[in-house]
Structure 1
């Protein structure tokens, strides 16, 4: 018996809220837009107003006076409450146009750099010094040969073999990392 009464009451309450929306919804929305200046916020206010009407459907049906006045008062109070809550919270920091967004994550470049440095450390001293002179100090083959005191052909040969060893070491590291679960 209680379930039947609850169903009848629920359907009656839903019908009341539906009729309130059909009769007063447009006017309430326009009023809320005027108060808030934002349609999305006004729609939230309208929804919350109708939710409160639904929760208080029994007392609302027995209320003497204007239902429309009650709805508008609830809507105004909701707007005031939202304004007070917003004023009580610290301002949100908006992203300024001067702030440049991060275009890509630099973590992979850090990992790559560490891998290259680790592979360079495994090279022989002769190969490592030739690569450092040519690639890190940006010297020509002739300049590297003069600084290292070796013939240009030796610089070319060592750089060729050093790069080949470096590629192999990096390929080994990549293969080892591919086997590791993320």
Structure 2
């Protein structure tokens, strides 16, 4: 073989061995899960995004896939199929579940949006200023890590994955902080009588 062909062959063998090792692995440890995620996470994200058309929801699906795989690790049998095939089967089920959850939440009707825009136009600017001040006070009462995530995701429209990358924590932690932060914020606003009945 020529030099380039030999080098390409060696790289191909290494890739084949790494993939084979990943396929024969199990989810016995956190290290195994990380290896499987490194090997298949990107393509599963692409699969979920293609199926759902929503990047953030696709990220949640991939996390759900690996959580389900971890919980059902004893059911994986490499003699019946590869880990990739097994993970894709779990992903298909997770995508179907995500579609069902999304279908349950009705989208906002255009008429409601038009009515909301008209209502916003009728709001007194002093009332808007007061609402902002009240919201700022409520945000200041949140724990720092909750406030940071609520502002970044809810008010600035950033994705949980972006915020997670910036903070160096998992996206699931960002979603958890967002959930608890919004819940605490609603409680503070309600406690002060700032939420509409």
TM-score in terms of structure 1 length: 0.45
TM-score in terms of structure 2 length: 0.42
**Greater Rg by CA:** 1
